[in-house]
């Protein structure tokens, strides 16, 4: 049972890692100079544009270079992907809809540095990955900045991102819709660029 729990954590964390590796690392799908905010907001769409402000507020030492909706080669799973730079490193903040999946219950497999929202972590393919879950989503912070920094960022982001996605953010903030399509099967990788069309629903 212990190994089953460990394997489940690793498999779920790999969902975020794979998007970071393909989109941010291999494809370098971000500019050297940050895209204008209005462009990022348009690419995220009205469902997820509120997340840009949430991320900027809670990791102010990092600059958001890009934000879009993308997928990984061979999968139809969609990701909301924000790419940031700080301390000369690239960081991905990634969200994807849960598809009848979930981290193990309890705190046996959770990171000891977890705050109000349980975090799960692993070092995979040279990257540190921290993940958490909301009612409908998995969230990830992925970078080679080091375990401590990645966990610190994930702790800062997990609760406000959860509250935004779940619609329980403080009054005055915008609710992000729980509407990343839940898809299965295989597809070529697509990462939206400024002139791309919105995702089909």
pLDDT at 64: 98
pLDDT at 144: 98
Nearest Cα residue to 80 out of 54, 44, 37 = 44
| 3-state SS assignment for residue 37 | helix
Query: What percent of the chain has pLDDT above 90?
Result: 76
Count Cβ atoms below 10 Å from residue 125 Cβ, excluding itself. Answer: 14
Q: How far apart are the first and last CA of the chain?
A: 38
Residue ranges of domains in the chain: 2-136
CA 165 – CA 90 distance, rounded (Å): 24
pLDDT at 185: 30
pLDDT at 115: 86
Tens-digit pLDDT profile for residues 182-197: 333 322 333 333 334 3
Residue with tokens 């402000």: 53
Residues 33-39 have a mean pLDDT of: 97
CA 163 – CA 167 distance, rounded (Å): 6
Residues 16-36 have a mean pLDDT of: 97
pLDDT at 168: 66
Q: What does pTM read for this prediction? A: 0.83
pLDDT tops 80 at residue 99 = yes
Residues 37-66 have a mean pLDDT of: 97
pLDDT tops 60 at residue 36 = yes
pLDDT at 170: 54
Query: What percent of the chain has pLDDT above 70?
Result: 82
More confident residue, 68 or 168: 68
pLDDT tops 90 at residue 74 = yes
pLDDT at 188: 30
Q: For all residues of the chain together, what is the average pLDDT?
A: 86
């Amino acid at each position: 049972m212990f190994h089953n729990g460990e394997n489940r954590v690793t498999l779920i964390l790999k969902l975020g890692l794979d998007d970071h590796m393909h989109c941010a690392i291999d494809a370098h799908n971000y500019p050297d100079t940050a895209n204008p905010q209005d462009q990022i907001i348009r690419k995220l769409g009205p469902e997820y544009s509120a997340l840009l402000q949430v991320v900027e507020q809670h990791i102010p030492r990092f600059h958001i270079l890009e934000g879009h909706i993308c997928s990984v080669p061979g999968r139809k799973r969609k990701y909301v992907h924000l790419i940031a730079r700080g301390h000369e490193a690239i960081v991905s903040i990634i969200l994807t809809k849960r598809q009848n999946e979930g981290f193990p219950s309890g705190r046996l497999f959770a990171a000891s540095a977890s705050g109000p929202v349980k975090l799960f972590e692993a070092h995979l393919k040279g990257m540190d990955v921290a993940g958490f879950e909301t009612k409908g989503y998995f969230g990830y912070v992925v970078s080679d900045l080091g375990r401590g920094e990645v966990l610190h960022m994930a702790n800062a982001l997990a609760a406000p991102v959860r509250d935004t996605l779940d619609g329980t953010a403080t009054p005055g903030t915008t609710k992000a819709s729980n509407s990343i399509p839940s898809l299965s099967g295989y597809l070529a990788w697509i990462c939206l660029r400024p002139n791309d069309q919105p995702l089909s629903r």
